[in-house]
Amino acid sequence: MDQIVAIVLPVFGLIALGYGAAWSGLLRRETGEALSDFVFIVAIPVLVFRTLATAVFGGAAPWGLWIAYFAVFAVMWVIGAGAIRRLFGRDARAGVVAGISTAYGNTVLVGIPLALAAYGNDGAVAMALIIAIHLPVMMASSAILIVRAERRDGVTHAEPGARAIVRGLGLNLVRNPLIIALILGALWHVLGVPLDGFPRIMVDRIADVAATLALIGMGMTLRNYGIRGNIQAGLVLAALKLLLMPALVLLAARYVVPVPTVWAKVAVIAAACPTGVNAYVVAARFRTGEALASNAITISTALAVVSMTLWLTIIELV
């Protein structure tokens, strides 16, 4: 138990440090935005590139990991959307926001540091494999469901055609630094090019600070969200995200689909991550559900200190 606490507390302690620095005014909002830009554009992509370029898979294929995780991802999206629409009477657009808030976790800023701390490079490899599908799935699902939800809600402005949606999604993906890093890291690994000498030193210098800066930057960003009324809905989404989703992933990865032990544990950690900030990005795109997404992000991040400790304990026992 002490070892698990030693893994969890530093991760969420750095988030709290970033939040405190922003809340107190010690660091300006512009500083937080610049730090977040550096983390998303440079630091985390370099870390992901190194992880995949130097990965040792031991003959394991990622199919079982992807099936176990993303089957539950789809189920949780439906459950989250249905819960908000039926329990709170929200429209279809808010349902999409709720679906994202329930299924899409902060695997980049929280998941990678936790996987590294708990299982080293093997954990980071598994988390990178999840992220490789996680982000494209969320972006594609959101793009499709945005159009459908706006039509169901009777939004009158012109909608883009299917070709425009696909084109926009494709451009967003190929321009995303994380996707570029995933592709380059995979190619580097497949080609068997050694990563050493001066390039390795430079990559290591950046990658080694990525997790720390990501957590501090997340804390500073979290200050911009906060609680915005209708706390009950946020609590429902947080409970689904932090408790139900990891429970279902644990069942799938351990007892339904054959997944290597460490990968199964990392899949549960990924599922137990708090709601990712992209939920708010989509809500802002809709101009509805901003408070819902903000509450889900803030509440789930705060409660994840306890829930992540719980799940790290459970996965070592089963």
What average pLDDT is seen over the chain? Answer: 87
Q: pLDDT tens for residues 141-159? A: 777 777 777 677 666 554 5
As a whole number of angstroms, the distance between CA 295 and CA 232 comes to 9
Q: pLDDT tens for residues 278-316? A: 888 778 776 777 888 889 999 999 999 999 999 999 998
The encoded tokens of residue 24 equal: 């107190």
Q: Is 105 helix (H, G, I), strand (E, B) or coil?
A: strand
Q: Is 275 helix (H, G, I), strand (E, B) or coil?
A: strand
Q: Does residue 89 have a pLDDT over 90?
A: no
Q: Catalogue all structural domains in the chain, each as residue range(s) with its CATH number.
A: 27-315 (1.20.1530.20)
- The number of residues in the chain equals 318
The encoded tokens of residue 170 equal: 């494709």
Q: Does residue 102 have a pLDDT over 70?
A: yes
Q: pLDDT tens for residues 30-81? A: 888 899 889 989 999 999 999 989 887 766 788 999 999 999 999 999 999 9
Q: Does residue 166 have a pLDDT over 80?
A: no
295-309 burial, b if ≥16 CB within 10 A, otherwise e?
Answer: bbbbbbbbbbbebbb
Q: Which helix (H) or strand (E) holds 195?
A: none
